Chain A
Amino acid sequence: MSAALEISDLHAWYGESHVLHGVQMKVEQGQVVTLLGRNGAGRTTTLRAILNLTSRRTGSIRIQGAESIHLPTYRVAHLGVGYCPEERGIFASLSCEENLLLPPVLGGAARGGMSLAEIYAMFPNLLERRRSPGTRLSGGEQQMLAVARILRTGANLLLLDEISEGLAPVIVQALGRMIRTLKSKGYTIIMVEQNFRFAAPLADHFYVMEHGQIVEQFPAAQLPQKQAVLDSLLGI
Chain B
Amino acid sequence: MTELFGVPVQALFGQLLLGLVNGSFYAILSLGLAVIFGLLNIINFAHGALYMLGAFGAWMGLQYFGLSYWAMLVLAPVIVGLFGMLLERLLLRRLYKLDPLYGLLLTFGLTLLIEGLFRSFYGVSGQPYSTPPLLQGGVDLGFMYLPLYRIWVVVASVLACLLTWLAIEKTRMGALLRAGTENPKLVEAFGVNVPLMISLTFGLGVGLAGFAGVLAAPILQVSPLMGSNLIIVVFAVVVIGGMGSILGSIVTGLGLGVVEGLAKVFWPQASSTVVFIAMVIVLLVRPAGLFGKES
Which A residues contact B (CB, under 8 angstroms)?
Answer: 51, 53, 72-74, 77-78, 81, 83, 85, 89, 91-94, 98, 101-104, 106, 150, 153
Contacts and interface: CB of A to CB of B under 8 A. Distances in A.
A58 B292 CA distance: 42
A85 B191 contact: no
Contacts of A153: 190-191
A92 B189 contact: no
Given A89-B186, A91-B182, A74 B176 contact: no
Given A77-B189, A93-B182, A153-B191, 12 more contacts: A73-B185, A73-B189, A74-B192, A77-B188, A93-B181, A101-B175, A102-B175, A102-B179, A102-B187, A102-B190, A103-B191, A103-B192
Contacts of B181: 93
B178 A74 contact: no
Contacts of B186: 83, 85, 89
Interface in B153-212: 172, 175-176, 178-179, 181-183, 185-195
Interface in B190-241: 190-195
B167 to A, nearest CB: 15
Q: Which of A81, A83, A93 has its CB near the most chain B CB atoms (within 10 A)?
A: A93
A74 B183 contact: no
Nearest to B181: A93
B288 to A, nearest CB: 15
A25 to B, nearest CB: 19
Given A85-B186, A91-B183, A104 B192 contact: yes
Contacts of A83: 186, 189-190
Nearest to B196: A74
Majority DSSP secondary structure for residues of B touching A: helix
Contacts of B179: 91, 93-94, 102
Contacts of A74: 188-194
B266 to A, nearest CB: 40
Contacts of A53: 185, 189
A96 B188 CA distance: 19
B257 to A, nearest CB: 28
A73 B188 contact: yes
B182 A92 contact: yes
Nearest to A88: B186
Contacts of A72: 188, 195
Majority DSSP secondary structure for residues of A touching B: loop
Given A85-B186, A91-B183, A92-B182, A77 B176 contact: no
B186 to A, nearest CB: 4
Contacts of B182: 91-93
Contact of B183 (A81, A89, A101, A150): A89
B178 A93 contact: yes
Contacts of A51: 189
Contacts of A77: 188-191
Contacts of B191: 74, 77-78, 103-104, 106, 153
Q: Which of A73, A101, A104 has its CB near the most chain B CB atoms (within 10 A)?
A: A73
A87 to B, nearest CB: 9
Interface string B6-23: 000000000000000000
A186 to B, nearest CB: 20
B138 to A, nearest CB: 43
Contacts of A92: 182
Contacts of B188: 72-74, 77
Contacts of B183: 89, 91
B281 to A, nearest CB: 28
Contacts of A73: 185, 188-189, 194
Q: Which of B179, B193, B194 has its CB near the most chain A CB atoms (within 10 A)?
A: B179
Contacts of B175: 94, 98, 101-102
12 contacts: A73-B188, A73-B194, A74-B194, A77-B190, A83-B190, A92-B182, A93-B178, A93-B179, A103-B190, A103-B191, A103-B192, A153-B191
Contacts of B193: 74
B88 to A, nearest CB: 17
Q: Which of B178, B183, B188 has its CB near the most chain A CB atoms (within 10 A)?
A: B188
Nearest to A149: B190
Nearest to A159: B189
A88 to B, nearest CB: 10
Contacts of A85: 186, 189
